[in-house]
Amino acid sequence: MIEIKNVYKSFENKDVLKDISAIFLEGQTNLIIGRSGSGKTVLLKSIVGLHEIDRGQILYDGRDFTHMPPKARKKLRQEMGMVFQGGALFDSMTVEENVRFPLDMFTEMSSAEKQKQVDFCLERVNIVDANKLYPSEISGGMKKRVAIARAIALNPKYLFCDEPNSGLDPETSLVIDALIHQITVDLKITTIVNTHDMNSVMEIGDNIVFISDGALCWTGNRHEILHTDNQTLKEFVFANKQYQKIRDEKIDEE
Amino acid sequence: MNFFYHAGRYFAMLARVFQKPEKHRIFALQIFKEIESLGLNSVGIVVIISVFMGGIITLQVAYNMANPFLPVYLIGLGNRDTLILEFSSTIMGLIMAGKIGSNITSEIGSMKVTEQIDSLEIMGINSANHLVLPKIIAVVFIFPFLFILSVFFGLIGGLMVGPAVGAVTATDYLNGVQYGFTPYYVTFSIIKTLFFGFLVASIPAYFGYHVEGGAFEVGSASTRAVVTTNIMILVFDLILTQILFR
């Protein structure tokens, strides 16, 4: 479980995050949603420590990440896996080398053990026959899947995904969403996904945190979102007529 | 103020660079890779530039010393000392700042804007140490060899051009090359190349590591890196000459 308490972050006197508190649960796909520029990415990067917060606390299973000494923080980071918006695969390495990289850096496994783990992770994300290809030779969807494989190589306790569906077609987005959700449930990890894709919200939103203008606006799950009275959230989620229709149908069914 | 801001960030980056590597075996492998990509791949350009440089210096010395009272072998001597003292160390440093420096900035800069550096940090890897230190070690290691290679091919260039245009005979030229040789000049220049190697690797790495934005900003950072490295090479050339020749 990850808990954030009263988090503030500003850049050059501009407040980007204002007093955000939330709980992200283990074994669930936790979503951070919000408009572009609302502070989602800054919040996610603050949670993983890529941005230092100005005030507040970030707790990983009760461990205070904010005030942790560098060595302990480094150790905790090995329990994290992150999928970046563009995949962030290392261009100079093949698919296989990308997935093996964290194993090379942090384990004393034998070559055969590493290969077994690499094959397992690539199989887990349904990548076959692409082991020797370079990131420039594979599609956007495959890059995301390889990035997920790399993120789970060290069996992390916490998985972070920044806009995993950006730039992908709707079908591939569904595949990626299902993959993230399945991995979260199977490995019982705490997953935080940063998204503004409403398909993801409706498909995998076990726990949703909606932020607007850098402040926490609403929390709930994908079922509760249908009945929300929060006007800002309604304008954001149901801006599309298609989703308004889906909401009305689901409410009618209930 | 801008200078102090950049100097502060540069030294802060160096403080992160000079730390214990995560895995020594991987680190050693990376150094060999960098020696190949930054050093060995520069041999061709060093040879070509040095041959022309030596030929041109020989011609210039010959035309400016067309005096019956001056011995002809001074042409070879002039070419040798000019190459050793300045051209094969400083001018080659400036050229390598363009080739190696822009390569380092664009490589690290691209990694920065595509979040590959963030990705290393998330894994708990000191990205500055992992990416920059092997490059610094490789360039500092390879620069003295490139210098020696440059002097050698510069002298060959003079030997090819001087006799070919009738400015000096091969015998006179070679006599001049061997006349009054001061070994300290080589030591002095090798010391300079060690400093220049450090500048050529670390300054562009700094500009790449701190780039923000996209492809345009990476390009601008490469230009700024090369210009700054060139200026710093000349500043250090002046300082080292003053210190080491007193």
CATH number at residue A216: 3.40.50.300
CB pair distance less than 8 Å for A102 and B123:
yes
> If you count residue pairs, one on A and one on B, with CB atoms under 8 Å apart, how many are there?
50
Taking contacts as CB-CB distances below 8 angstroms, the residues of chain B near A106 are 22, 123-124
- The predicted pLDDT at position A254 comes to 67
Angle separating helix axes A95-106 and A111-124, nearest 10 degrees: 130
- The predicted pLDDT at position B1 comes to 65
- Answering whether pTM is above 0.90, one says no
Residue B8 lies in a domain: no
Please check whether residues A166 and A236 belong to one and the same domain: yes
For residue A44, the enclosing domain spans 2-79+159-253
For residue B57, the enclosing domain spans 21-244
* Segment A86-145, tens digit of pLDDT: 889 999 999 999 999 999 999 999 999 999 999 999 988 888 888 999 999 999 888 988
Number of domains in chain A: 2
Residue A86 lies in a domain: no
Please check whether residues A170 and A246 belong to one and the same domain: yes
Average pLDDT over residues B124-141: 95
Residue A84 lies in a domain: no
Residue A74 has its nearest CB partner, among B23, B115, B124, at B124
Residue B119 has its nearest CB partner, among A45, A84, A104, at A84
Residues whose CB is less than 8 angstroms from the CB of residue A49 and which lie 6 or more positions away in sequence, other chains included? A58, A65, A73, A77
Residue B124 lies in a domain: yes
Please check whether residues A110 and A194 belong to one and the same domain: no
* Segment A216-248, tens digit of pLDDT: 999 998 888 888 888 888 888 877 777 777 777
- The predicted pLDDT at position B153 comes to 97
Distance from CA of B34 to the nearest CA of A (A): 13
Average pLDDT over residues B35-39: 93
Please check whether residues A70 and A178 belong to one and the same domain: yes
CB pair distance less than 8 Å for A86 and B114:
yes
Please check whether residues A52 and A98 belong to one and the same domain: no
| Interface predicted TM-score (ipTM) of this complex, two decimals | 0.86
* Segment B168-193, tens digit of pLDDT: 999 999 999 999 999 999 999 999 99
**Does residue A37 surpass a pLDDT of 80?**
yes
Please check whether residues A148 and A108 belong to one and the same domain: yes
Residue A85 lies in a domain: no
Instruction: Name which of B93, B134, B126, B132 is nearest B109 in CA terms.
Output: B132
Taking contacts as CB-CB distances below 8 angstroms, the residues of chain B near A89 are 116
By the 8 A CB rule, do A4 and A47 touch?
yes
By the 8 A CB rule, do B194 and B1 touch?
no
Number of domains in chain B: 1
